[in-house]
Amino acid sequence: MAARSILHGIHLWPRTLRARLFVILLAGLTIAHAMSFAALFSERYIAARSVMFNTLETDVATSIAILDRLPATERAAWLGRLERGSYRFVLGRGLPGSRVLNEVDVEVADKVRAAIGAKYPIEVESIPGGVRRLQAHLRLSDGEPLTIDITPRGVMPVADWLPYVLVAQLSLLVLCSWFAVRQATRPLADLAKAADTLDPNSRTPRLSETGPREVAYAATAFNAMRDRIAQYLEERVQILAAISHDLQTPITRMKLRAEMAEASIERDKLITDLDEVERLVKEGVAYARSAHGKDEKASRIDLASFIESLAYDYQDTGKAVTVAELGDGAIVTRPHALRRILTNLIDNALKFGGSAEIEVQRRPEGTVTIKVLDRGPGIPEDQLEAVLQPFFRLEQSRSRDTGGTGLGLAIAQQLATVIGGSLTLRNRDGGGLAAELSLESSTVSMKQWNSLAL
């Protein structure tokens, strides 16, 4: 049962840091505010008791002495003058009551007895009813009965405007708590967003380094980390490009020497292996260059003509490449990078599916989707993301026709990021693979065109 209540409490606890800070801060301020009001009302209660007891001690004795010296016919006229907020005088025996008093009433009775003194014997009774009420009975010097009707007050009355002040104060507490929490958590949210969208190869804006000292320091450290990651990636790509480039010369010499050797089975196998190594080196150089695809200037192209030209080039070589759907319009992009992306996707479709089908769709939100479809074996769902990584191959053989280098889709993915697009893979219903390249459509202003060209 206790475990269930703990789990229930955890479930009710807010999940976001902003909500938790807001609840904690608001609860603390509200409790402090309530304690302040409790102390204020406690002080008012003590002050009211002190005023009431001081009044009883000073005024009651004086009032009784005045009534005792007045003629009996004039006493009734003085009752209104001697009346106070917590007590009044009544000529006569008053109302019947109970001599059983609670602790507070006993204190009031003792104060009345101490104020009047031993000259006037007094009896104090509690009067039943909804209102707390005491009556002290005594007799004046001439024997006329006199009753002191006492209505003790716990606290002083509250002003009518006080509830409105309380509401205004609580509203101010809520507003200040929300503003303080927002100021505290907004830099953290910006940092989390920047970390989630971190891509050293893209031109995303740097995190702002303004604000409080701690926030500025965290932003500076994050930007420095981003620069270091970009530098490490650049160095890795440069190393790959250098090694791949330098390997081309010795491989060429080895091929020449192998071709000059006497014809044999071993010679043919050696030439085949050298061709495979050369192809791998060229793919490595292409992957390294794809990281620098942003160096290409952007230009405005007619997308329909671009896709048809690409499909015709394949058809001229006898490849089964068709265009199923073709959207109209122009886009601003880097055409050589776009051609390399589509070429890699089409080659992949032809290798594993035997044919490729191209679709171009322009969506209402302003994006253009280019799909390359095939009816090959597809890719397991848990490896759709992995195949976009460099040197990852589903088929682990070294065969030129089946294994490949594992760089074709990686190059397409990297170039898609460079031109501001995204590449996703999904399996088609009925078998096959769909490679979707999403681009921002741009038939727009020259200002946007120029910004892409920078």
Whether 218 shows a pLDDT value over 70: the answer reads: yes
Q: Using the 3D structure, point to which of 119, 150, 181 is the last residue of a domain.
A: 150
CA distance 41 to 158: 10
What local confidence, expressed as pLDDT, does residue 11 receive? 56
* Coil/strand/helix, residue 91: strand
* Cβ contact 281:248 at 8 Å: yes
CA distance 303 to 327: 8
Q: Using the 3D structure, point to which of 107, 127, 150 is the last residue of a domain.
A: 150
To which residue do tokens 């080659």 refer?
347
Residue 48 inside a domain? The answer is yes
Q: What percent of the chain has pLDDT above 90? A: 6
Residue 303 inside a domain? The answer is yes
What local confidence, expressed as pLDDT, does residue 420 receive? 81
| CATH number, position 373 | 3.30.565.10
Can you state the percent helix, strand and coil of the chain, rounding each to 5? 55, 15, 30
Residue 168 inside a domain? The answer is no
E strands, 303-352, are 321-325, 330-333
Q: What percent of the chain has pLDDT above 70? A: 83
Computed over every residue of the chain, the mean pLDDT equals 78
Count of structural domains within the chain: 2
**Quick one: DSSP state of residue 441?**
-
pLDDT tens digits, one per residue of 13-71: 677 767 777 888 888 888 887 888 888 777 777 777 676 667 666 778 888 888 888 88
Whether 94 shows a pLDDT value over 60: the answer reads: yes
Q: What is the mean pLDDT of the segment spanning 93-114?
A: 78
Q: Computed over its alpha carbons, how large is the radius of gyration of the chain?
A: 47
Whether 150 shows a pLDDT value over 70: the answer reads: yes
Residue 217 inside a domain? The answer is no
* Token reading at 329: 């319009």
CA distance 251 to 420: 36
Q: Using the 3D structure, point to which of 121, 150, 179 is the last residue of a domain.
A: 150
What local confidence, expressed as pLDDT, does residue 396 receive? 47
What local confidence, expressed as pLDDT, does residue 444 receive? 37
pLDDT tens digits, one per residue of 376-390: 888 888 888 888 877
The CA-to-CA distance between both ends of the chain, in Å, stands at: 65
What phi, psi does 435 have (nearest 5°)? -100, 120
At residue 345 the predicted structure's pLDDT band, cuts being 50, 70 and 90, is very high
pLDDT tens digits, one per residue of 252-270: 888 788 888 887 888 888 8
What local confidence, expressed as pLDDT, does residue 291 receive? 59
| CATH number, position 40 | 3.30.450.300
E strands, 247-329, are 299-302, 321-325
Give the DSSP letter string of 112-133.
Answer: HHHHH-TTS--EEEEPPSSS--
Residues 92/97/98/104 CA torsion (nearest 10 deg):
-80
What local confidence, expressed as pLDDT, does residue 268 receive? 81
Handedness of CA 69, 75, 79, 81 (dihedral sign): negative
Q: Which domain holds residue 77?
A: 20-150
Residue 243 inside a domain? The answer is no
At residue 154 the predicted structure's pLDDT band, cuts being 50, 70 and 90, is low
* Coil/strand/helix, residue 129: coil
Whether 7 shows a pLDDT value over 70: the answer reads: no
* Coil/strand/helix, residue 242: helix
Nearest to 303 by CA among 337, 326, 321, 334: 326
* Cβ contact 97:129 at 8 Å: no
Which of the given ranges, 220-224, 240-244, 285-289, 309-313, has the highest pLDDT on average?
309-313
Residue 356: strand pairing partners: 321
Amino acid at 267: R
What local confidence, expressed as pLDDT, does residue 287 receive? 67
At residue 398 the predicted structure's pLDDT band, cuts being 50, 70 and 90, is very low
To which residue do tokens 């090694």 refer?
243
Residue 270 inside a domain? The answer is no
Residue 176 inside a domain? The answer is no
What local confidence, expressed as pLDDT, does residue 395 receive? 59
Whether 323 shows a pLDDT value over 80: the answer reads: yes
To which residue do tokens 């002290």 refer?
136
Question: What predicted TM-score, i.e. pTM, was given to this entire model?
Answer: 0.48
pLDDT tens digits, one per residue of 416-449: 887 888 899 999 888 899 999 998 765 333 334 3
Residue 164 inside a domain? The answer is no
Q: Which residues contact 387 (CB under 8 A, 6 or more apart)?
A: 379, 394, 409, 425
What phi, psi does 433 have (nearest 5°)? -125, 145
Query: 382 exposed, middle or buried (CB, 10 Å; 0-12, 13-18, 19+)?
Result: exposed
Poorest-pLDDT segment among 110-119, 175-184, 436-445 = 436-445
Whether 308 shows a pLDDT value over 80: the answer reads: yes
CA distance 293 to 136: 103
Q: Which residues contact 376 (CB under 8 A, 6 or more apart)?
A: 349, 352, 353, 354, 431, 432, 433
CA distance 275 to 277: 5
